Structure 1
Amino acid sequence: MFKKLFSIKTIVAIGIGAAVFIILAKFASIPSPIPNTSIQTSYAFLALMAIVFGPIAGGLIGLIGHALNDAISYGSVWWSWVVVSMIVGFLIGLVAKKIDIESGDFSKKKIITFNITQVLAQAIGWLLIAPLLDILIYAEPANKVFAQGFFAVVSNIVTVGVIGTILLIAYAKTRSKSNSLHREL
């Protein structure tokens, strides 16, 4: 089972995924009026990787990518938000088999499934877990962390809903549909 979860392909995907997550978080984020919160395109990429490689890869890409980005950018890691990045990647990855992006089919039904899942994952993470961990671990004021969580959930839902869906549609188009090959007579 360990070999199946951590194939060479999955390990490479985790490493490259974490690196791309860092690059997007550092250079493709948009500042916001909420302190220490920005509009992140990195979560759209995280969603793509979670759907392609599954929940373990999605969780580890979120964990490693966010932790390293914090360490590089700020000199310390804000663990409450790192944990949420891991949870969001993991939860989105849970529907990878149901969506089966490798089939080349990313129908409207699958797009809806993906977006319902990402909305629920983001809401659980940014509206509930991140603020509560900020209060418990860092003794942050509740009004500040819930405002940050609200901004993060709205911006991440929009970026993953738009950019993530576009990435998945484009990726699905690169896959061969299972019934696309026919034998010539």
Structure 2
Amino acid sequence: MKSLKFGIREVVATGIGTALFVALTEVQIPVGFIPNTSLQPRAALLAFFAAVFGPVAGGIIGLLGHALGDALFYGSVWWSWVFPDALFGIIMGLFATKFAIKEGNFNKKNTILFNVVQVIANLVAWGALAPALDILIYAEPANKVFTQGICAFAANIIIIAILGTLISVAYTKIAGKSSSLKKEE
């Protein structure tokens, strides 16, 4: 596996990704039967940025994007859901070189890998970490938070499988093989 670097492209992508993540905080499709749980396009955006720019970018976008979005739109930060987004971004980012989106080679095999990894990352983040932190930090009832966590897990899988995959395919076709950011000599 190629080493993952964090250079100027990744810094710029992290800033853009964080800003877009925050902007998409209010774009939600409520699930309806589980409170405070919805389909959120920002999950697909996080998966894409992490899959292209790596675990540091993914972790920062998940952490800062979620925290700033909560603070700006809701007035307080729900940390037990911020950290899972950061963890999700890190896990997705660890496979960035395997997905080959940036290299313009996001083929069928890589698409399957992308979705297998996002399912596992979502399970760890939303099926385990978020409910555990809700219980530890906020003393929420276990049955409530595990229900919310599993619903968020399922909602994220759906939105990332559809929107995250489409964004990744489009990026590969349009910009994956070239970049306007070139190192000056």
The answer for the alignment partner of 2:44 in structure 1 is: 44
The answer for the alignment partner of 1:31 in structure 2 is: 30
Matched, 1:115 2:115: yes
Instruction: Give unmatched runs, 5+ long, in structure 1.
Output: 179-185
CA–CA separation in structure 1 for the residues paired with 2:139 and 2:119 = 27
CA–CA separation in structure 2 for the residues paired with 1:31 and 1:74 = 16
Q: Quick check: 105-114 or 169-178, which moved more?
A: 169-178
Cα deviations across residues 24-71 of structure 1 (Å, max 9, x unaligned)?
A: 121x21123211222111010111101111111011001000000110
The answer for the alignment partner of 2:183 in structure 1 is: none
**Coordinate RMSD, CA, aligned:** 1.5
CA–CA separation in structure 2 for the residues paired with 1:137 and 1:7 = 35
Structure with the greater alpha carbon radius of gyration: 1
The answer for the alignment partner of 1:168 in structure 2 is: 168
The answer for the alignment partner of 2:58 in structure 1 is: 58
Any conservation in 1 of the 2:101–2:176 contact (CA below 8 Å)? no
The answer for the alignment partner of 2:86 in structure 1 is: 86
Matched, 1:16 2:20: no
CA–CA separation in structure 1 for the residues paired with 2:94 and 2:55 = 5
> Which amino acid is the alignment partner of residue 113 of structure 1?
L
> Which amino acid is the alignment partner of residue 107 of structure 1?
N
> Which amino acid is the alignment partner of residue 25 of structure 1?
T
Any conservation in 1 of the 2:25–2:73 contact (CA below 8 Å)? no
The answer for the alignment partner of 2:103 in structure 1 is: 103
1:127 and 1:175, CA in 2 relative to 1: closer, same or farther beyond 3 A?
Answer: same
> Which amino acid is the alignment partner of residue 23 of structure 2?
I
Q: Quick check: 50-59 or 101-110, which moved more?
A: 101-110
The structure where helix makes up a greater share of residues is 1
CA–CA separation in structure 2 for the residues paired with 1:23 and 1:177 = 28
After superposition, residues 121-132 of structure 1 pair within 5 angstroms as 121-132=121-132
Aligned-pair identity in percent equals 53
> Which amino acid is the alignment partner of residue 40 of structure 1?
Q
> Which amino acid is the alignment partner of residue 28 of structure 2?
S
1:8 and 1:176, CA in 2 relative to 1: closer, same or farther beyond 3 A?
Answer: closer
The answer for the alignment partner of 1:181 in structure 2 is: none
1:63 and 1:177, CA in 2 relative to 1: closer, same or farther beyond 3 A?
Answer: closer
Cα deviations across residues 97-143 of structure 1 (Å, max 9, x unaligned)?
A: 11221221111110011000000000011010100110011000111
When the two structures are superposed, what TM-score results if normalisation uses the length of structure 1? 0.89
When the two structures are superposed, what TM-score results if normalisation uses the length of structure 2? 0.89
CA–CA separation in structure 1 for the residues paired with 2:132 and 2:51 = 27
